[in-house]
């Protein structure tokens, strides 16, 4: 008998439940990332804006920038400060040096914001996540799903039958 055949049923059950939980977390993380990205890309329409003010603030925790803009949607004038439609991503956007350079670039391209047509007071400069945040979430979810599927295979594979196939 091999060591794998000696593993008792309760141990295999616990291993399967733990790996199954990791699989569920990975799949839900991927699903959430896709849903948030879809929401951001479907709901918002773009509108050219005028940047009213731009400030850079240096604190012990990093360099932040704030942007205030004015836009016209459906004949109404609105003022906004949001950089991302996701509150969690606003701080990341405020600290992102690449995004700050992009916003302050010297070319003549106008700034555009994405407006929620159902609530025109809700607008943001970005439609999705800032920088690598989306890629990190997708990579983490993908790795969790891949590793948990491999672990489930290792736990549940039919060891005895496979061993019999390769007997000489």
Residue with tokens 């061993």: 163
What is the spatial distance between Cα 155 and Cα 23, in angstroms, rounded to a whole number? 14
Enclosing domain of residue 19: 8-37+137-165
Total domains, the chain: 2
51 falls within a domain? yes
Residue 58 and residue 111 in one domain = yes
DSSP 3-state assignment of 63? strand
Q: Does residue 130 register a pLDDT over 60? A: no
pLDDT tens digit string along 24-77? 988 888 887 777 777 666 667 778 776 777 777 777 877 778 888 888 888 899
Residue 119 and residue 151 in one domain = no
123 token code pair? 């607008």
Residue 132's pLDDT is 52
49 falls within a domain? yes
pLDDT tens digit string along 75-108? 899 988 888 777 777 777 778 777 777 777 766 5
Question: Of 10, 41, 13, 55, nearest to 129 (Cα)?
Answer: 41
Q: What pTM, to 2 d.p., does this model score?
A: 0.53
């Amino acid at each position: 008998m091999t060591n794998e055949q000696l593993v008792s049923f309760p141990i295999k059950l616990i291993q399967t439940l733990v790996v199954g939980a990791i699989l569920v977390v990975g799949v839900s993380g991927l699903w959430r990332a896709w849903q948030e990205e879809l929401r951001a890309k479907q709901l918002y329409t773009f509108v050219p804006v005028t940047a009213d003010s731009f400030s850079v603030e240096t604190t012990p925790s990093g360099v932040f920038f704030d942007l205030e803009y004015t836009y016209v949607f459906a004949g109404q004038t609105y003022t906004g400060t949001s950089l991302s439609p996701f509150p969690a991503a606003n701080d990341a956007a405020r600290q992102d040096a690449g995004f700050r350079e992009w916003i302050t670039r010297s070319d003549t391209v106008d700034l555009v914001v994405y407006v929620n047509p159902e609530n025109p007071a809700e607008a943001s400069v970005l439609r999705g996540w800032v920088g690598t945040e989306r890629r990190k979430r997708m990579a983490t979810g993908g790795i969790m799903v891949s590793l948990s599927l491999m672990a489930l295979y290792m736990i549940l594979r039919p060891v005895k039958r496979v061993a019999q196939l390769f007997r000489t």
